[in-house]
Homo-oligomer: A and B are copies of this chain.
Amino acid sequence: MTETPTRKKWKQDPEAVQANILAAAAEEFAEHGLTGARVDEIAARTRTSKRMIYYYFGDKESLYRQVLEEAYRKVRSEEAALDLTSLPPLDALRKLVEFTFDHHRANENFIRLVMIENVHKGKHLAESPLIARVNPSAIERIEDICARGQKDGSIRSDVSPHELHWLISAASFFNVSNRFSFGISFNKTLFTHDGQQKLRELTCKAVIEAARKP
């Protein structure tokens, strides 16, 4: 071996340091919210020091904003990998709902960050120019399905892609975001494996029926 082993691998690799901070911050913010998160705790989750957080990100709120942006970017880019163009419209719609439902469940921290941001009334999202650029793709995909379905007669002509997206999002998001309060207040069996399969199917059917031409 010619390589000298060093304890601090990332040294002199600013991008790695920043990525490391961002990841640690994402966890801390998702866990405790903007006000609840502790910069000291973020630093502790890091391979670097608190000082570097300020060196690269300025202050807590800027760091939070960048965490939020990064979370949106990552989630949207994963969604973009889903190719629905080869499926018949209603099959594509079902696949989209299933994917979205599952994807939300698999990204709890993203859900939590969005919840937290909504507690802050979307203030930081509104200040971010990136968000506007990264989100439209989600709508475009559903617009494509609607357009194809209206052409081949499988989807109603008066359907709104935005409304459809809203319904898919509401079910998929709420399913994760409110499972604590909902589970406590009502029925925890909804959040078992079987319960989740049923809610997933319920969501699929509700969305498809809302779109299908009678």
Interface residues of A (CB under 8 A from B): 32-36, 112, 114-119, 121-122, 125-126, 131-132, 135-136, 138-139, 160, 162-163, 165-167, 169-171, 173-175, 177-187, 189-190, 198-199, 202-203, 205-207, 209-210
Contacts and interface: CB of A to CB of B under 8 A. Distances in A.
Contact of A119 (B119, B163, B179, B206): B119
A178 B168 CA distance: 13
Chain A interface mostly: helix
A182 B179 CA distance: 20
B125 A180 contact: yes
Contacts of A185: 125, 131-132, 135, 138
29 contacts: A33-B35, A35-B36, A112-B119, A114-B178, A115-B119, A115-B177, A117-B181, A118-B178, A118-B179, A118-B180, A122-B181, A126-B180, A131-B184, A131-B185, A132-B184, A132-B185, A135-B185, A135-B186, A138-B186, A139-B186, A139-B187, A162-B190, A163-B190, A165-B186, A166-B174, A167-B203, A169-B182, A171-B174, A206-B209
Query: Top 6 nearest A-B pairs by Cβ distance?
Result: A122-B180, A170-B174, A35-B36, A135-B185, A206-B206, A35-B35
Contacts of A179: 118
Given A174-B170, A186-B162, A114 B32 contact: no
A7 B142 CA distance: 55
Which one of A171, A178, A209 has the highest number of Cβ atoms from chain B below 10 Å of its Cβ? A178
Contacts of A126: 180, 184
B180 A177 contact: no
B163 A199 contact: yes
A203 B171 CA distance: 11
